[in-house]
Amino acid sequence: MIDHKLAEDLKKRAKEGDTAVLRSAELKSLFDQLKTLPADERGAFGQAVNKLRTELTELLNQAKDEAEELAPIDITAPLDINTPRPELLPSEQGSQHPLMAELATILDIFYRMGFTAVESREIDDDYHMFGSLNFPEDHPARDDYDTFMTTQTDVHGKPFIAPAHTSIMQNRVMKAGKAGLEAGQAIAAVIPGRVFRNEDLDARHEHTFYQLEGVYVDKGIHAGNLIATLKTFLQEYYGKELDVKTQPFYFPFTEPSFELTVSCPFCDKKGCHICSRTGWIELLGCGMIHPNVLKEAGIDPNEYTGFAWGMGIDRLVMMKYGIEDVRHFESGRLDFLRQFS
Ligand code: DAH
């Protein structure tokens, strides 16, 4: 007769839905055993083995039906309706992406400094990408923002644009804040967003990355406010005293424009692989909002002044943790991501 324990083990596997049981070495060994038996025992044993195989097939079908009952797939259902019940999920849970976790920290610092957050967008038009930011038509400065465009055009006959910077939101934020500004409430907004560039990829360049734009407008605002705001933020984020320097730069939407350089928070100016052994890092672009940009948003530049900046969030986070390659963020590499979970 068939070994009782062996038969029970096989049935248990079938009940659990293990389809490999029909091809298992154990089942095959029973058929092999059949051939070795004396002729008068073969009939009964053969029947028993066939019966067992039928039972296993039925148990497998039952297990399949039960699994489908647990997780019926409705392809028309929205969102996570089709998500299997937790007992069918692997036990390891996911975690927040490090960039999003750091963004929460960054925004929290700016909230405490009186800024509100406005989300950027991932598809836009020529006016917000260039026109509203004082880029004349066909101006070579547009070449610095080489990004992706649709072949389909908008009502002005221009392509839609995957934004190359979060500055696309400046005009919108200032228009929205104008009434408040005139009632005595400064415009103070930070704008996180995903941006795109047609880049050759390397350890420092990605086609997709994140920026945080800042816009501040009120009466009597000057470059000293800009530098103090950014220095305060950076010291809070890195949790230490830092030195900052400004260098003159050119952006069409600010005048004057600066590049802000910060002492390396990783090595405190000693020189390391993060700061290319110089002790300093060119971190972000900033400046006093150009009068034409204020005017375009309906704000009188004779009465109000403001500052703006745009910083790469990936860069900021790389400097905090000594991450050597920006491509890790979008790579989906679990060994990288798990270090932050
Ligand atoms: N949009 C610029 C870039 O991506 C960064 C920038 C510079 C933003 C100066 C600003 C600014 O708001 O004032 O290169």
Q: Which of 165, 288, 305 should be mutated for ligand 1, with most atoms under 8 A from CB?
A: 165
Lowest average pLDDT, out of 11-25, 66-80, 175-189, goes to: 66-80
**Band of pLDDT at residue 226, cut at 50, 70 and 90:** very high
Q: Rg of the chain's alpha carbons, rounded to an integer?
A: 32
What's the pLDDT score for residue 87? 57
Q: Which residue has the tokens 């992706």?
A: 148
Q: Look at residue 192 and give its three-state secondary structure.
A: strand
Which residues are within 8 A (CB) of 289 and not within 5 positions of it... i.e. 6 or more apart?
A: 170, 215, 217, 253, 254, 305, 306, 307, 308
CA distance 59 to 50: 14
What's the pLDDT score for residue 83? 61
**Does the reported pTM lie above 0.85?**
no
pLDDT digits (tens, 9 = 90+) for 52-99: 999 999 999 998 888 777 666 666 766 665 565 555 556 566 788 999
pLDDT, mean of residues 264-290: 94
- Using an 8 Å Cβ cutoff, are 220 and 184 in contact? no
CA distance 15 to 20: 12
CA of 76 to the centre of ligand 1 (A): 43
Cis, peptide link before residue 248, omega less than 30° from 0: no
pLDDT, mean of residues 206-229: 97
Q: Which atom of ligand 1 is nearest to 211's Cα?
A: 4
CA of 285 to the centre of ligand 1 (A): 5
pLDDT digits (tens, 9 = 90+) for 35-50: 888 888 888 888 999 9
Comparing C-alpha atoms, which of 150, 161, 96, 95 is closest to residue 128?
A: 161
- Using an 8 Å Cβ cutoff, are 7 and 52 in contact? yes
CA of 213 to the centre of ligand 1 (A): 7
- Using an 8 Å Cβ cutoff, are 11 and 37 in contact? no
What's the pLDDT score for residue 155? 94
Q: Which of 170, 191, 286 should be mutated for ligand 1, with most atoms under 8 A from CB?
A: 286
Percent of the chain with pLDDT over 70: 93
- DSSP bridge pairs for 217: 187, 306
- Using an 8 Å Cβ cutoff, are 59 and 15 in contact? yes
- Using an 8 Å Cβ cutoff, are 289 and 253 in contact? yes
Percent of the chain with pLDDT over 90: 74
Comparing C-alpha atoms, which of 198, 196, 213, 199 is closest to residue 120?
A: 213
CA of 239 to the centre of ligand 1 (A): 25
